[in-house]
Structure 1
Amino acid sequence: MSRRRVSLADLNRSTATGNAEGLPGPALPGALGGFDTVGVSQHAHPTVADISECLFFSPGDGRIWLQDQRMILLHSEALGSLRRELIDSIGLDKARGLLTRAGYVGGARDARMVRQQWPDADPPAAAIAGTRLHALEGVVQVEVVHVRYDAETGDYEGEFIWHNSSEDDEHIAAYGVGGSPACWMQVGYATGYVSTLFGRMVVFREVECRSSGSAHCRVIGKSAERWDDPGQDLFYLNAQDFVGTPPAAARAPSRKGTLGASPGSVALAGAPAADGATMVGASSAFNAACHMLQRVAPTAATVLFTGESGVGKEMFASMLHRISPRQAHPLVALNCAAIPETLVESELFGVERGAYTGAGASRPGRFERAHGGTLFLDEIATLSLVAQGKLLRALQEGEIERVGGTRTITVDVRVVAATNVDLRQAVREGTFREDLYYRLNVFPIHLPPLRDRRDDIPLLMGHFLAHYQRKHRRQGPGFSQAAVKAMFNYPFPGNIRELQNLIERSVILVNDGEPIAPHHLFSSGEQPGTGVMSLQLGADSIATLHMPSAGGSAPATQAAAAAMPGVAPLHQAEAQLLRQALHSAAGNVASAARLLDISRATLAYRLRKFGIPAGRS
């Protein structure tokens, strides 16, 4: 059946005639009504026309933008050729995992764009925007069979039919009809989009596929804990076998048939899997670090982990030991910043009896204790130049001498170091030895801050929530939509460690059966994004809700407004400002948007919200 093709210009013009949906396919009122909690009109924002206004073409410099995300137009056959080469060169399972993770990142990015562009959109409308984006991006036409989302418990369940799947077209052209589903990127996209939107792990599974002989593709999505065996789906989000799946999969059998552990789930050395120390992530930045870890693990090379405080350097170092040939031998850690300068040498190399006052017995140092295994030196930039020189000799010679001793001891140790300091800059400033830097910097692995791997936030939120609910014996439905929005807007200066602390705090503060709200998360002076309330304790131990604003504290701003006669309500002031900007720009929407320092799509949405007729575009 032929379908009418619609240009973006036609799509924008259709808004004026009331046909905002401009794309072919079934009408959506019934589908939108499938949400139990909120009934949403088919014209609820963001519509397809809204989304199309976020798409910008810049032929002069060869760029296409979907709001602030750069896009490309790619031949479907080119992507199919890449898919075939991946399958033929690295195997079906690895190719499926790679494409699933790529789709997940795309879905997570689109969900972030929808949240930023339409922060006031109802959850059902924002969820349906994912189906519209999938269609607008030329991937697949989505027909919604039914969707149920409970905002109180965070429970999600949906069923969809996919028409005209581009992945199926290319897979069938290359391999014909086979025995298993093949829409891997699309499943990853749906998982990434909905999980990021709702702040909890939602797993999608393709139960019927054209590539396996069905008439169309049928997909079911459910909250991870509602699946009996989500591990087989989440397995493909893991870049390496040592990356764990979210805790909802912990009770599912692994691909190797081992009960009670999720596939590839590995905890820190010496700690049980239940301690929350599993590595979790699916973002491209996290996966890149995992690939480098896997590459260097079988070797004896020295590894240097760099990155901000709280990004997980110690966890990566522990995992490096666990997947290396040295795993049967000790992993010994030393925080260089916690050892006084006078004791560094004895801690590293050991001490002989009588070497100094108080040395009543000989004892081995960290090098000896780590013989055959791994020595992890955290915050290595804090070592003095004298200690650095002694460490350099041990690394060069593979030999040490205890303090007060006369014999040389040969040690076989793999040294792994970590720092949150730019060692190159420290070398230039003369605070770190250049020769030691080059000795340590054999295989550097940079761990990105959480703000650069926000695609992992829903996975980490679900992981730590389940862990701390078990630890503190608390029960609850999870995070409210306001809490999810706050977490995605928060800059996380303390990275993963701070996210972990925020969630543990909220699990303790919230009552059983209640969703976690922003004031449970931000109750200790943190500054969440604009529009997010936090709980602040006064000197009298009375807690008050605080709403931050650009112009100062909320109480001060409210007091100033109350003292000013004739102050209009916010919505009236905003509408008046929009009219003034349009008037100043002679009705040109794009120029008015520049005057207000917002995007054209945001201004167009605000104009429709207040019923203000737009001028020229």
Structure 2
Amino acid sequence: MEKKIPCHRRGTDVPALKLVAATVDDAALAEHLRFDPDRGEILLFDQRMLLMHGYSLATLRHELIERLGLDKTRELFMRLGYQQGVEDSKGLRRQGGAGVPEAMKLGPRLREIEGFVRNRVVERMQYDTESGGFWGDYHWQHSWEAETHLQHFGISGVPACWMMAGYACGYTTAMMGRPVIWREIECVAMGHACCRVIGQPVEECDDADDLLSFMRVEEFVTVPRHREPDEQGRGKAPAGSALPDLVGASAGFNAVAWRLKRVAQTDATVLFTGESGVGKERFARALHAIGPRASKPFVSINCAALPQELVEAELFGVERGAFTGASTSRPGRFERADGGTLLLDEIGSLPMLAQGKLLRVLQEGEIERVGGTQMRKLDVRVVAAANHNLREEVRAGRFREDLFFRLNVFPIDIPPLRDRRDDIPLLVNVFLNRYARRFNKHITGVTRAASEALWAYSWPGNVRELENMVERAIILADDGAGIDVQHLFSGGEVLPGRPFESAARSAEPSPPAADTADEALLLERLLRRAGSLDAVETLLLQHALDTCRGNASAAARMLKLGRGQFEYRWRKRRPSGG
């Protein structure tokens, strides 16, 4: 009979999932930890670590609470912990290829080794990689955060293990491929005997919005309390409901969010840069939604989509009779955006003549319609976006230097998705819920194999490509089932070492392995030449380095090692640094 386990705060039962034992072999972690005092480095999974005084971090935490308040500091520390959890998960993926059962044991033990807490399972952690089901119930003992908070502030009315909760969220989310939230329901800082946390998929949490606040800039989804007018001034849904996928916990996302919040309350011109598909228009809409012009129109125009002969008419408007076909006067995008925000997307595509007229409008704050004689004073905040390096365009003579400097008042560069992979599970969850509702389907989650494939993919189309792939996957997946690799990668996308052109192609068998007798003969010859296993390793390292022309990172990838591992082994063989 299938065992039932309680779903915290929801009053329902869920099917039993695979159980994760609590024991772990420390040697599996120790081999990835390197101390190199001569270089002043400590490496864990090739990531540099810092052994620092807990007292200093506790003092910083105290000062931040005094200056920023409890809520802001909580979000900051949870986000910091989340990023640490994702990095540890990535490290295990890269170095050991740990499966979910092993990884779910190693994660809690890693945090113990890092000195934050002692984990004790109340009910063993349970999961299902196919459906994304998850349940965890832990006691935390000797929590550094709880003891620090108690020492500085006395008994608290709220849980205080923020960095630990963020770490658990980040680690588990990265491993499961869907957002998993850990919330502290008992805490030593509140007077309990120990700290206790419950982990569940975000959809099963009644208070998910509050718990997810550290994963996004809250104004993006809550600020507008009015109805934002569209280009014709009509009311539409609040911007909060229109921007649900601006979520992220990566350093890249939060750097963009911070700059966006700093400039939002001003009238400064903003230039968004980044590859196609990173979400420049969506960030521009968020900028408008959290600024003082939120109740006024937001108008956007894609400059690359305009025929050259119609650019000026579209931007500045046209008077009746100005040219053949102009039977009526009509306002341009600048006039429609009066009082609000105008986004000039792909601004690098503007012809030189239009660039000159745009510069004058930006300097004078007034426009003249095509075929007209009247100057019209306007109050428009201009936001531009470019997916090409405008400095390079200036050097090539394709973009006016004076216009570039006028636009480049406050540049915000949005990193590509491959540089903020930490955000993929959060974005997938947003898109999955959106399209499952649209297509009236129940999707149980994303399989482990699909999650690994999403992590490994290079994302040339960035967030737009991810959204399209999730939409396609939900169409292909069966109702009541999960999303697997063949549902996502069926449009000709190529994963490292494996094309996924169709579901049938993805199921093709891999090429046969090399003949084992040939491998044995090769190994015998290599040992005979080198004389020892250590010498064989030295030959392999030297060969990889020579093949990659001295590029240590490329040599490490060739040998399927992390760069830190490669450098450690190379220095051990060549102590003089040859």
Normalising by the smaller structure, the TM-score range is 0.7 to 0.9
Gaps of 5+ in 2: 1-14, 226-234, 545-554, 563-578
Counterparts in 2 of 1:345 and 1:546: CA distance versus 1, 3 Å: same
- Residues in 2 aligned to 1:574 and 1:79: alpha-carbon distance in whole angstroms: 54
Bigger mean CA offset, 437-446 vs 209-218: 209-218
Question: Which of the residues 488, 497, 500 maps onto 1:534?
Answer: 500
Bigger mean CA offset, 444-453 vs 231-240: 231-240
Question: Which of the residues 283, 295, 305 maps onto 2:250?
Answer: 283
Counterparts in 2 of 1:326 and 1:154: CA distance versus 1, 3 Å: same
1:209 corresponds in structure 2 to 187
Q: Deviations over 1:463-490 (max 9, x none)?
A: 1111111111122211111101111111
- Residues in 2 aligned to 1:383 and 1:291: alpha-carbon distance in whole angstroms: 30
1 or 2 for the larger relative contact order (CA 8 Å, sep ≥6)?
A: 2
Deviation of residue 278 (structure 1)?
3.4
Q: Which amino acid aligns with 1:509?
A: L
| Alignment root-mean-square deviation, CA | 3.2
1:149 corresponds in structure 2 to 127
1:379 corresponds in structure 2 to 346
1:130 corresponds in structure 2 to 107
Question: 3-state DSSP class of the match of 2:111?
Answer: helix
1:550 corresponds in structure 2 to none
Question: Which of the residues 473, 480, 485 maps onto 1:518?
Answer: 485
1:105 corresponds in structure 2 to 83
Tell me, yes or no, if structure 1 residue 544 matches structure 2 residue 492: no
What is the TM-score of this pair, normalised by structure 2? 0.84
2:45 corresponds in structure 1 to 67
Counterparts in 2 of 1:39 and 1:433: CA distance versus 1, 3 Å: closer
Tell me, yes or no, if structure 1 residue 452 matches structure 2 residue 419: yes
Counterparts in 2 of 1:128 and 1:580: CA distance versus 1, 3 Å: farther
Q: Which amino acid aligns with 1:544?
A: R
Question: Which of the residues 522, 532, 538 maps onto 1:586?
Answer: 532
Q: Is the 8 A contact 2:243 2:282 kept in 1?
A: no
Q: Is the 8 A contact 2:316 2:334 kept in 1?
A: yes
1:121-200 map, 5 Å: 121-145=98-122, 146-200=124-178
Question: Which of the residues 13, 18, 22 maps onto 1:37?
Answer: 18
Q: Deviations over 1:82-121 (max 9, x none)?
A: 10111011111001110110000110111111122222x3
Tell me, yes or no, if structure 1 residue 89 matches structure 2 residue 89: no
Counterparts in 2 of 1:598 and 1:350: CA distance versus 1, 3 Å: closer
Gaps of 5+ in 1: 1-33, 245-253, 259-267, 538-542, 548-553, 605-617
1:24-423 map, 5 Å: 36-37=17-18, 42=23, 47-119=25-97, 121-145=98-122, 146-243=124-221, 277-423=244-390
Aligned residues between the structures: 528
Question: Which of the residues 515, 535, 548 maps onto 1:567?
Answer: 515
Counterparts in 2 of 1:40 and 1:163: CA distance versus 1, 3 Å: closer
Q: Deviations over 1:185-214 (max 9, x none)?
A: 000000000011100111101111111111
Q: Which amino acid aligns with 1:536?
A: S
1:16 corresponds in structure 2 to none
Deviation of residue 48 (structure 1)?
2.2
Question: Which of the residues 452, 455, 463 maps onto 1:485?
Answer: 452
Q: Is the 8 A contact 1:310 1:495 kept in 2?
A: yes
Deviation of residue 270 (structure 1)?
5.4
Question: 3-state DSSP class of the match of 2:415?
Answer: coil
Counterparts in 2 of 1:581 and 1:167: CA distance versus 1, 3 Å: farther
- Residues in 2 aligned to 1:198 and 1:583: alpha-carbon distance in whole angstroms: 46
1:610 corresponds in structure 2 to none
Counterparts in 2 of 1:585 and 1:215: CA distance versus 1, 3 Å: farther
Deviation of residue 233 (structure 1)?
1.4
Counterparts in 2 of 1:396 and 1:55: CA distance versus 1, 3 Å: same
Counterparts in 2 of 1:360 and 1:170: CA distance versus 1, 3 Å: same
Tell me, yes or no, if structure 1 residue 462 matches structure 2 residue 410: no
Q: Is the 8 A contact 2:239 2:289 kept in 1?
A: no
Bigger mean CA offset, 77-86 vs 208-217: 208-217
- Residues in 2 aligned to 1:384 and 1:575: alpha-carbon distance in whole angstroms: 66
Question: 3-state DSSP class of the match of 1:60?
Answer: coil
2:547 corresponds in structure 1 to none
* Percentage of pairs with the same residue: 48
Deviation of residue 61 (structure 1)?
3.1
Q: Which amino acid aligns with 1:388?
A: Q
Tell me, yes or no, if structure 1 residue 503 matches structure 2 residue 470: yes
Q: Deviations over 1:406-443 (max 9, x none)?
A: 11111110000000111111111111111000100001
Counterparts in 2 of 1:430 and 1:468: CA distance versus 1, 3 Å: same
Q: Which amino acid aligns with 2:350?
A: L
Q: Is the 8 A contact 2:128 2:134 kept in 1?
A: yes
Counterparts in 2 of 1:581 and 1:83: CA distance versus 1, 3 Å: farther
Q: Is the 8 A contact 2:169 2:182 kept in 1?
A: yes
- Residues in 1 aligned to 2:262 and 2:524: alpha-carbon distance in whole angstroms: 55
